[in-house]
């Protein structure tokens, strides 16, 4: 490090789930030389799951993340299906799991946009910190906010109907599901689905408008990356089960319809000393070039179509925005996320009208195996669960690659790009700090999942000179005001 | 609308999964009525980073797994008249406390040295990373707790009932139907 370098820290990043902080290294001219998002907590799941029976796993891995517990539940369940030798579920169980997953994705996407990110997009990145939250949105835009709250509520109701509880219910069992939906339960959910679809469409339009109306948002934290995600057999958007597809920024295909059980051949994870979150990369491209993005932006770019009509129309407008090539705008994550929410709403309607979800043929059995790998497209991206068991059925080895981990490098690069664009040569203000957080928030990171732990700290920025002397310190007070304490 | 001073509520998630916060948000539209009587101080859903010194109620999700958790918990205890331990993790450590069966070293080695597909194996070690506690602890081992709201997570109705009771100046109590431990 050259002598003139100084450290700037943002601790913590807020309105995201989990605990991370951002540090920057700047030279005397305020040029940003390094930007890092550190994940600062650690839980140790891979170890303490060892020695536990495999059938416990789906109900208890969900306690890694209360925002997308169903994703962990289902990824683990898919791995456990293999442990009990089941390759294919009954139609009833498959559709119930898909319905559960769509409910989950709908609620998570609604939560992320309305509760966490909409304040930035509706009020501005540097807007009044006291209003920059969901309560502020309820007061300023009550209609939009209440629809957002009800969209999330609906997703939670789908989850509760299938799993018994909104958060941490139980649904999947080895080789199937533990119950189906009654006619009454289906009718209750069907009663509101038209509103849910209409409001999801409005949310897509709102995000389209915001992105179009703010050309400065296009370059904000923009990167040119590979995309990884699951894909259906016809190249359509698929969230529950399919092959893996990776594409390079120029649109060329790196691999397609790849059986995810071979994930160890295509992905490695690098450990770096300064973060508890690892850095995955595509093995064939190596550490430098192999990092990639996952989640809504990756999926909507990567797929060739969406199977439901309204979401497909929205996807086409999305593609038209980039003239058919990839939309690499980081803030377009929000737009893509809303397209997926619309897809989930439409897919939920189809499934609720499908007799199979009330079927009674729910469980398949098979020959026990020693290894299972389950992969799913969680709201935040591709989620890998991998378990090995001993003869007694006890877990010997567990490996998780959670969605947010795959975006680790990308979040770091976006932070760096925003720092270059907005911090370079400028005096730090609360509004500028929030710009860095906006870049991270676009990814909807779940730092809880990524480290299996959580925590929050006050926001403070320190400028420290090369000799360790404190040059400047800004603290965001409880009223949201910025104070300079030097 | 009454001009009565709003009750200030602060919330935090320590070593928890955020599920308790999600369950609180599961009060859905009732939040619109709630914010007529309640205002939020420090919480993960806003950008307020410190508790106001005169908070009325602090809701704590999660136990203690590192030094920062302890620091935040102490801030809450100093700032809030009433501290409520919310959910299994805050009350008895919950799932994160399962690591207590192993040493911290074993847990770190499994994740960063012996993991599948790990490149550049090493235990992350940087001044930016806070000190991990050797064991995960429930919060009552460190501060006085006024009320315990059980469940994993407690149901949304339980949050609403406890807050409503406190707003009305009553001793909180949960009817059987919304008293859950799962
Ligand atoms: S008690 Fe349950 S829901 Fe609450 S933080 Fe702990 S694991 Fe999550």
Task: Kindly report, residue by residue over A471-486, the tens digit of the pLDDT.
Answer: 445 544 333 344 544 4
Averaged pLDDT of chain B: 91
Tokens representing residue A83 in the block = 């442990």
State mean pLDDT over A326-343.
98
B132: confidence class by pLDDT, cuts 50, 70, 90: confident
Lowest mean pLDDT among A126-130, A479-483, B17-21, B92-96: A479-483
Return d(Cα A296, Cα A336) in angstroms, integer: 5
Q: A274 pLDDT band (50/70/90 cuts)?
A: confident
Confidence class for position A36, pLDDT limits 50, 70, 90: confident
Q: Return the residue in B22, B42, B178 with the most chain A beta carbons within 10 A, the one to mutate for interface testing.
A: B22
A349 is a domain residue: no
Average confidence score pLDDT of chain A: 89
Residue A473 pLDDT:
54
Predicted-complex ipTM score: 0.94
Residue of A38, A397, A454 lying closest to B16 (CB–CB): A454
Give the residue-averaged pLDDT of A376-388: 97
Picking from A154, A166, A156, A168, the residue whose alpha carbon sits closest to that of residue A200 is A154
CA A281 to centroid of chain Cα atoms: 17
A152, A110 Cβ separation under 8 angstroms: yes
The dihedral over CA atoms of A291, A296, A297, A300, expressed in degrees to the nearest 10, equals 120
* B37 in reach of chain A (CB within 8 A): no
pTM above 0.95, yes or no: no
Structure tokens at A326: 């990839």
Asked if residue A438 belongs to a domain, the reply is: yes
Alpha carbon nearest to ligand 1 atom 6, residue: B89
State residue A129 phi and psi, 5-degree precision: -65, -25
Q: CA angle B89-B22-A76, nearest 5°?
A: 70
Q: Residues 6 or more apart from A296 whose CB is under 8 A from it?
A: A109, A333, A336, A337, A339, A340, A379, A444
The predicted model gives A194-216 an average pLDDT of 97
Put simply, the answer to whether B45 touches A134 (Cβ < 8 Å) is yes
How many angstroms separate the CA atoms of B152 and B139, rounded?
16
pLDDT class of A31 with cuts at 50, 70, 90:
confident
Q: Give how many domains chain A has, as a whole number.
A: 1
State the average pLDDT over residues B127-135: 80
Does residue A363 form part of some domain?
no
Distance (Å) from the C-alpha of residue B8 to the closest C-alpha of chain A?
12
pLDDT in tens, B52-63: 999 999 999 999
Produce one character per residue of A197-216: b if its CB has 16 or more CB atoms within 10 Å, e if not: bebbbbbbebbbebbeeeee
Assign residue A124 a region: left if phi > 0, alpha if psi is -120 to 50, beta otherwise? left
Q: Between A9, A23, A133, which is nearest B46 by CB?
A: A133
Across B139-146, average pLDDT: 95
Q: What is the DSSP string of B16-65?
A: S-SHHHHHHHTTTTHHHHHTTTEEE-S-TTSS--S--TTEEEEEEESBEE
Q: Are strands A243-247 and A253-258 parallel, antiparallel or unpaired?
A: antiparallel
Residue A24's pLDDT band, with cuts at 50, 70 and 90, is confident
- Residue range A69-87: average pLDDT? 97
Q: Which two tokens stand for residue A237?
A: 């958007």
Provide the residue range defining the domain that includes A430.
Answer: 12-41+404-484
3-class DSSP state for residue A372?
Answer: strand
Q: Domain B7-97+134-178 sits in which CATH superfamily?
A: NADH:ubiquinone oxidoreductase-like, 20kDa subunit (3.40.50.700)
Distance CA A75, CA A53 (A): 17
Distance A338 CA to ligand 1 centre (A): 28
Token pair, residue B162, equals: 């406890």
Contact A18, A411 (CB under 8 A): no
Binned at pLDDT 50, 70 and 90, residue A382 comes out as very high
A77 has pLDDT over 60: yes
pLDDT at B59 (0 to 100): 98
For position A453, what pLDDT does the model report? Answer: 28
Q: Nearest CB to A268: which of B72, B119, B125?
A: B119
Calculate how far, in angstroms, residue A479's C-alpha sits from the geometric centre of ligand 1.
Answer: 28
B156 — pLDDT class (breaks 50, 70, 90): very high
Kindly report the protein residue whose alpha carbon is nearest to atom 5 of ligand 1: B16
A44 with B111: Cβ contact below 8 A? yes
Among A392-401, A446-455, B118-127, the range of highest mean pLDDT: A392-401
Domain boundaries, chain B: 7-97+134-178
Q: How confident is the model at residue A1, as a pLDDT?
A: 44
Q: Which two tokens stand for residue A80?
A: 């456990």
Mean pLDDT of A59-80: 93
Query: Cβ(A166) to ligand 1 under 6 A?
Result: no
Residue nearest to atom 2 of ligand 1 (CA): B152
Residues of A in contact with B52 (CB under 8 A): 478-479
Q: Looking at residue A41, what is its pLDDT?
A: 65
Of A412, A398, A378, A397, nearest to A281 (Cα)? A412
Q: In a 10 Å sphere around its CB, with 0-12 CB exposed, 13-18 middle and 19+ buried, how is residue B127 labelled?
A: exposed
* Chain A residues within an 8 Å CB radius of B156: 166
A395, A58 contact by CB (below 8 A): no
Q: How far apart are CA B10 and CA A409, in angstroms?
A: 33
Half-sphere exposure (Cβ direction) of A94: Cα atoms closer than 13 Å: 12
Q: How many Cβ atoms sit within 10 Å of the Cβ of residue A241?
A: 20
What percent of chain A stands above pLDDT 70?
90
Per-residue pLDDT of A156-195, as tens digits, reads 999 999 999 999 999 999 999 999 999 999 999 999 999 9
CA of B18 to the centre of ligand 1 (A): 7
Q: Which position has the higher pLDDT, B108 or A375?
A: A375
Where b means 16+ CB within 10 Å and e means fewer, B8-25 reads bbbbbbbbbbbbbbbbbb
Residue A383 lies in a domain: no
Kindly report the number of other CB atoms within 10 A of residue A482's CB atom: 16
Cβ partners under 8 Å of residue A321, min gap 6: A211, A327, A332
Cβ pair A43:B99 closer than 8 A: yes
CB contact under 8 A, A48 and B107: yes
The whole-number pLDDT of residue A479 equals 38
Token representation of residue B57: 């109620």
Q: If contacts are CB pairs under 8 Å, which of residues 133-172 in chain B contact chain A?
A: 152-153, 155-156
| d(C-alpha A60, C-alpha A116), whole Å | 26
Long-range CB pairs of A368-371 (<8 Å, 24+ gap) are A368/A83, A368/A84, A368/A85, A368/A393, A369/A82, A369/A83, A369/A84, A369/A85, A370/A83, A371/A82, A371/A83
Q: What is the mean pLDDT of the segment spanning A23-40?
A: 78
Instruction: Give percent of chain A above pLDDT 90.
Output: 72
Per-residue pLDDT tens over the stretch A436-469? 999 999 999 876 654 432 222 233 444 444 444 5
Q: From ligand 1's centre to the CA of A165, what distance in Å?
A: 13
Contacts of A190 (CB under 8 A, 6+ apart): A349, A352, A353
Return the pLDDT at B123.
81
The Cα A151–Cα A111 span in angstroms is 8
């Amino acid at each position: 490090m050259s002598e003139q370098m100084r450290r700037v820290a943002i601790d913590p990043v807020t309105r995201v789930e989990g605990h991370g902080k951002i540090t920057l290294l700047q030279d005397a001219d305020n040029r940003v030389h390094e930007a890092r998002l550190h994940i600062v907590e650690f839980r140790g799941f891979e170890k303490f799951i060892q020695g536990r029976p495999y059938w416990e796993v789906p109900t208890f891995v969900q306690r890694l993340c209360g925002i997308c517990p169903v994703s962990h539940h289902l990824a683990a369940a898919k791995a456990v299906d293999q442990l009990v030798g089941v390759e294919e579920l009954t139609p009833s169980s498959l559709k119930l799991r898909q319905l559960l997953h769509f409910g989950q994705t709908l609620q998570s996407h609604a939560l992320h946009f309305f509760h966490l990110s909409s304040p930035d997009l509706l009020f501005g990145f540097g807007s009044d910190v006291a209003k920059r939250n969901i309560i502020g949105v309820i007061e300023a835009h009550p209609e939009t906010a209440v629809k957002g709250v009800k969209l999330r509520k609906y997703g939670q109701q789908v989850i509760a109907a299938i799993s018994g509880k909104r958060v941490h219910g139980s649904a999947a069992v080895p080789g199937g599901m533990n119950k189906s939906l009654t006619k009454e339960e289906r009718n209750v959910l069907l009663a509101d689905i038209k509103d849910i679809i209409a409001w999801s469409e409005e949310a897509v339009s709102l995000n389209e408008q915001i992105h179009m109306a703010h050309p400065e948002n296009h370059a904000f934290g923009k990167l040119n990356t590979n995309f990884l995600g699951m894909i259906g057999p016809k190249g359509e958007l698929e969230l529950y089960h399919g092959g893996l597809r990776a594409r390079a920024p120029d649109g060329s295909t790196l691999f397609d319809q790849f059986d995810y059980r071979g994930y160890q051949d295509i992905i490695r994870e690098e450990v770096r000393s300064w973060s508890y979150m690892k850095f995955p990369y595509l093995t064939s491209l190596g550490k430098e070039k192999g990092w990639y993005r996952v989640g809504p932006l990756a999926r909507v770019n990567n797929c060739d179509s969406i199977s439901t009509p309204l979401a497909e129309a929205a996807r086409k407008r999305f593609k038209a925005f980039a003239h058919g090539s990839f939309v690499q705008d980081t803030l377009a994550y929000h737009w893509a996320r809303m397209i997926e929410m619309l897809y989930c709403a439409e897919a939920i309607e189809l499934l609720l009208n499908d007799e199979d979800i009330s079927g009674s043929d729910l469980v398949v059995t098979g020959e026990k195996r020693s290894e299972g790998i389950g992969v799913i497209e969680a709201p935040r991206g591709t989620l890998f669960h991998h378990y090995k068991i001993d003869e007694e059925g006890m877990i010997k080895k567990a490996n998780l690659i959670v969605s947010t981990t795959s975006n680790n490098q990308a979040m770091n690069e976006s932070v760096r790009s925003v720092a270059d664009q907005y911090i370079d040569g400028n005096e730090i203000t609360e509004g500028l700090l929030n710009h860095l957080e906006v870049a991270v928030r676009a990814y909807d990171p779940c730092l809880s999942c990524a480290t299996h732990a959580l925590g929050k700290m006050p926001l403070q920025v320190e400028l420290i000179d090369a000799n360790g002397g404190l040059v400047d310190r800004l603290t965001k007070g409880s009223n949201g005001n910025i104070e300079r304490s030097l | 609308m009454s001009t009565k001073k709003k009750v200030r509520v602060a919330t935090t998630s320590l070593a928890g999964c955020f599920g308790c916060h999600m369950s609180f948000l599961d009060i859905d539209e009732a939040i619109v009525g709630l914010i007529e009587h309640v205002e939020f101080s420090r919480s993960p859903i806003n950008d307020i980073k410190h508790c106001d010194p005169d908070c009325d109620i602090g809701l704590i999700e999660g136990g203690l797994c590192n030094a920062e958790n302890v620091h935040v918990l102490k801030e809450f205890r100093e700032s809030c008249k009433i501290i409520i331990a919310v959910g299994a993790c805050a009350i008895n450590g919950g799932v994160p406390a399962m690591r207590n069966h192993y040493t911290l070293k074993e847990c770190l080695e499994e994740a960063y040295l012996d993991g599948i597909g790990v490149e550049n194996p090493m235990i992350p070690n940087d001044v930016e990373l806070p000190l991990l506690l050797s064991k995960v602890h429930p919060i009552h081992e460190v501060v006085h707790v006024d009320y315990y709201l059980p469940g994993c997570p407690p149901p949304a109705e339980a949050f609403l009932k406890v807050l409503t009771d406190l707003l009305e100046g009553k001793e909180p109590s949960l009817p059987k139907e919304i008293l859950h431990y799962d």
